[in-house]
Chain A
Amino acid sequence: MTELSAHLPQFQHGQLTENFPDNHLSNTNDNSERRRHDNSERRRNDNPESEANGQPQNSTQQVVEQDEEEDEELTLKYGAKHVIMLFVPVTLCMVVVVATIKSVSFYTRKDGQLIYTPFTEETETVGQRALNSVLNAAIMISVIIVMTILLVVLYKYRCYKVIHGWLIISSLLLLFFFSFIYLGEVFKTYNVAMDYITVALMIWNFGVVGMICIHWKGPLRLQQAYLIMISALMALVFIKYLPEWTAWLILAVISVYDLVAVLCPKGPLRMLVETAQERNETLFPALIYSSTMIWLVNMAEEDPEAQRKASKNSTYDKQAPANQTQNEDAEADDGGFSQEWQQERDNRIGPIESTPESRAAVQALPSNSLTSEDPEERGVKLGLGDFIFYSVLVGKASATASGDWNTTLACFVAILIGLCLTLLLLAIFKKALPALPISITFGLVFYFATDNLVQPFMDQLAFHQFYI
């Protein structure tokens, strides 16, 4: 791994596309680096031609090689783009969940519990409640572990059809059934009269387009939107059906499990990732045409999880071809080059001004055609389970906190910062990393702290109208 990573910094400046694999949350070592190596080979061959464009490729490479050692930290600059690419969907998902929780009361009513959490929390004593929630959490976690191992086993023995069928069924369930319930509840809340035929038509269209987008091909934005929507739906289901203490316990245990599963040598997720690497293939051929990561975070607790994670990755892979040019150009000097973006995207010709940015953008041009063959390595990927659990945390915070919006805001900022840190770590370690632990830890700490400590303080301040 060390000599391969040495190649990476070489091309970080000259060929901006190299940066992207570094920022994959769920990127694996060998597979992608093998590909990166191939890319760099091809680009080296390309360099003589690109000289004709007046681009000092070789000189930049030499200059950059000197910076190799310093470049281990990387990313604040290149990663800024990726972090934002992740911030936006996570924020959107959380916003949708919070908005729903605040307005639709269905999701905060106690209508029973999932079969996975059989013990009730409406007990007489605190001790019994604690015990029940611990048992609930234990059952849930064991369900998750069993599912994960099942998936790994299926993958190992190449039962692709089974996995495929499983995913399709779960996405069907999610897209049709849950969104039907959601729509019904929203209508009830706003007292909108609606007949069954219209609803059936809407749900049918929604579901079918969703299936096509997620499992096959579709416009990038639409696919992202669908994935965000189903993550939000799943999170809402969790918020509704998991009792209080169980939910917090599950969140805590999930992050620990995630840490273990991804990083330990015998962890199921890691085995999955390594098996995929050995076979040098993607995990779900029908869903993605690249990446081996996925299962970055927590595996399926229920079927929809798995499929969502897989499709989540496919989202960001597909993001690649659409955004390659923009990404490369945008990464030229700093994280935000909107003008160069526009130019590249619209004209596909070299930039007009001779600013340093445009020079770098032009440098990136020759690699355009190449990178279209390797779409998987662009963009950052995050498992859908991450989305779901972040949203569960924020949703629960907004639903049950006494500090209400303050707590929600605090958890939101905490989760975003955790995500930043995780991405930073990813850039440093350059291998598959669990995205849950840091963010969830921050989120939990901030939730409990804000709810119990900050809230009384702010209340008093607001009452007297003091300002700090």
Chain B
Amino acid sequence: PALGLFLFTIARDPLRIIILIAGAFFWLVSLLLSSLIWFIAVKASDPQDEPLQKGLLIFGVMFSVLLQEAFRFLYYKLLRKAIEGLVALSEDGCSPISIQQMAYVAGVGFGLMSGAFSMINLLADALGPGTVGIHGDSQLYFLTSAFMTMVLIFLHTFWGILFFHGCEHRRWWEITAVVVMHLAVSGSTFCNPFYVGSLVPSYLLMAAAAAWAYSLSGGSTQNLRRFFLCKS
């Protein structure tokens, strides 16, 4: 689905593609930094201690979430400056791409990158021979991974919209809500492989975020109804 999003909405406009790739880049840098921190922490600690390692991992995840949001903020700042440049260049005084579109594209960029990094090795391995969960791990590993990745990509998209909207209108509570949501989703994955605990809340949160973002972007129930009834 994320790829479909990409193809239908982004691939047409080169500016959006650039913003997308830049968004992916920012996510990547945040991942890099967070893994650097984690790596240092691991090296500095005792590798034999299992719970400690897991604790460190959790710490790494939380830290990474915070870093991702920080980078989203940085990216927002960069895009603000870019919009000013674009407005100066354009003929009729308004930017060819609105901040909301940018928010959307940035969100998709983040999401795609995080999804890709989460899934792609899994997919590559899935092509080879083998049975899932043969050692007593969950047999639903691939399925749940796929769903989790998808929900995360969508979430990133919505968070992008919400975040940028919050920054635009200086509503700090929106921004903190996004951060808290992100932390919550990541945290819920900690109870994997008890999948119910992670997938269900994530999907609920995603629905909530979707509705919120939709209303922020100016949609309404009338629009929805018209859309579904094919503009009757």
- Interfacial residues, chain A to chain B (CB-CB below 8 A): 13, 60, 63, 67, 70-71, 73-74, 76-78, 80-81, 83-84, 87, 333-336, 338, 356, 360, 403-406, 409-410, 413-414, 416-417, 420, 446, 449-450, 452-454, 456-458, 460-462, 464-468
B189/A466 in contact, CB under 8 A = yes
Evaluate whether A468 and B17 lie within 8 angstroms (CB atoms) in the complex, with A73-B85, A77-B90, A453-B36 already known: no
Q: Interface centre among B17, B35, B57, by most A CB within 10 Å?
A: B35
A466/B17 in contact, CB under 8 A = no
Evaluate whether A80 and B15 lie within 8 angstroms (CB atoms) in the complex, with A409-B116, A456-B39 already known: yes
**B-chain residues with CB within 8 Å of residue A458 when the two chains form the complex:** 35, 117-118, 121
**B-chain residues with CB within 8 Å of residue A410 when the two chains form the complex:** 28
Please name the residue on chain A nearest to B89 by beta carbon: A77
Please name the residue on chain A nearest to B36 by beta carbon: A453
Evaluate whether A413 and B113 lie within 8 angstroms (CB atoms) in the complex, with A420-B22, A468-B186 already known: yes
A468/B64 in contact, CB under 8 A = yes
Q: Within the complex, which residue of B65, B92, B96, B120 is in contact with A335, where a contact is CB–CB below 8 Å?
A: B96
Q: Within the complex, which residue of A63, A70, A403, A465 is in contact with B88, where a contact is CB–CB below 8 Å?
A: A70
Q: Known pairs A453-B35, A466-B58. 19 more at Cβ < 8 A?
A: A73-B88, A76-B15, A76-B89, A77-B15, A77-B86, A77-B89, A77-B90, A333-B96, A405-B120, A413-B21, A413-B24, A414-B25, A417-B22, A420-B18, A458-B121, A461-B61, A466-B61, A467-B189, A468-B114
Nearest chain B CB to A177 CB, angstrom units: 32
Nearest chain A CB to B147 CB, angstrom units: 11
Provide the bound-state CA to CA distance between A462 and B117, in Å: 10
Q: Interface centre among A67, A81, A446, A465, by most B CB within 10 Å?
A: A465
Q: Within the complex, which residue of B13, B21, B68, B96 is in contact with A420, where a contact is CB–CB below 8 Å?
A: B21
Provide the bound-state CA to CA distance between A460 and B190, in Å: 12
Nearest chain A CB to B161 CB, angstrom units: 20
B122/A462 in contact, CB under 8 A = yes
Provide the bound-state CA to CA distance between A410 and B65, in Å: 19
29 pairs, CB–CB < 8 Å, chain A vs chain B: A60-B91, A63-B91, A73-B85, A73-B88, A76-B89, A77-B86, A77-B90, A78-B89, A83-B14, A333-B91, A334-B15, A336-B12, A356-B91, A406-B121, A417-B25, A420-B21, A449-B32, A454-B31, A457-B34, A457-B35, A458-B35, A461-B61, A461-B118, A465-B144, A465-B148, A465-B192, A466-B61, A467-B148, A468-B186
Provide the bound-state CA to CA distance between A334 and B89, in Å: 10
Provide the bound-state CA to CA distance between A160 and B215, in Å: 66
Nearest chain A CB to B55 CB, angstrom units: 12
- Interfacial residues, chain B to chain A (CB-CB below 8 A): 12-18, 21-22, 24-25, 28, 31-32, 34-36, 38-39, 42, 54, 57-58, 60-61, 64-65, 68, 82, 85-86, 88-92, 96-97, 113-114, 116-118, 120-122, 124, 141, 144-145, 148-149, 152, 185-186, 189-190, 192-193
A334/B35 in contact, CB under 8 A = no
Provide the bound-state CA to CA distance between A454 and B24, in Å: 15
**A-chain residues with CB within 8 Å of residue B85 when the two chains form the complex:** 73, 76
B32/A468 in contact, CB under 8 A = no
**B-chain residues with CB within 8 Å of residue A360 when the two chains form the complex:** 91
Provide the bound-state CA to CA distance between A13 and B38, in Å: 50
**B-chain residues with CB within 8 Å of residue A71 when the two chains form the complex:** 88-89
Nearest chain B CB to A81 CB, angstrom units: 5
**A-chain residues with CB within 8 Å of residue B149 when the two chains form the complex:** 467
Provide the bound-state CA to CA distance between A14 and B174, in Å: 43
Please name the residue on chain B nearest to A60 by beta carbon: B91
Provide the bound-state CA to CA distance between A466 and B60, in Å: 11
B189/A465 in contact, CB under 8 A = yes
Evaluate whether A335 and B189 lie within 8 angstroms (CB atoms) in the complex, with A70-B88, A468-B65 already known: no
Nearest chain B CB to A463 CB, angstrom units: 9
**B-chain residues with CB within 8 Å of residue A87 when the two chains form the complex:** 17, 21
A80/B14 in contact, CB under 8 A = yes
Please name the residue on chain B nearest to A419 by beta carbon: B21
Provide the bound-state CA to CA distance between A37 and B161, in Å: 45
Provide the bound-state CA to CA distance between A357 and B68, in Å: 38
Nearest chain A CB to B25 CB, angstrom units: 5
A333/B86 in contact, CB under 8 A = no
A336/B31 in contact, CB under 8 A = no
**B-chain residues with CB within 8 Å of residue A81 when the two chains form the complex:** 14
A74/B89 in contact, CB under 8 A = yes
**A-chain residues with CB within 8 Å of residue B24 when the two chains form the complex:** 413
**B-chain residues with CB within 8 Å of residue A446 when the two chains form the complex:** 28, 32
Q: Which 9 A-B pairs have the closest CB atoms?
A: A334-B96, A84-B14, A336-B13, A457-B35, A465-B192, A80-B14, A80-B15, A335-B14, A405-B120
Nearest chain B CB to A75 CB, angstrom units: 8
Please name the residue on chain A nearest to B56 by beta carbon: A460
Provide the bound-state CA to CA distance between A461 and B53, in Å: 12
Provide the bound-state CA to CA distance between A465 and B132, in Å: 14
Q: Within the complex, which residue of B12, B90, B141 is in contact with A465, where a contact is CB–CB below 8 Å?
A: B141
Provide the bound-state CA to CA distance between A254 and B26, in Å: 27
B193/A465 in contact, CB under 8 A = yes
Provide the bound-state CA to CA distance between A173 and B113, in Å: 40
B192/A464 in contact, CB under 8 A = yes
Provide the bound-state CA to CA distance between A77 and B144, in Å: 41
**A-chain residues with CB within 8 Å of residue B22 when the two chains form the complex:** 417, 420
Provide the bound-state CA to CA distance between A98 and B181, in Å: 37
Nearest chain A CB to B186 CB, angstrom units: 6
A338/B152 in contact, CB under 8 A = no
B120/A409 in contact, CB under 8 A = yes
**A-chain residues with CB within 8 Å of residue B189 when the two chains form the complex:** 465-467
Nearest chain B CB to A461 CB, angstrom units: 7
B39/A453 in contact, CB under 8 A = yes
Nearest chain B CB to A291 CB, angstrom units: 22
Evaluate whether A413 and B121 lie within 8 angstroms (CB atoms) in the complex, with A80-B18, A420-B18, A454-B32 already known: no
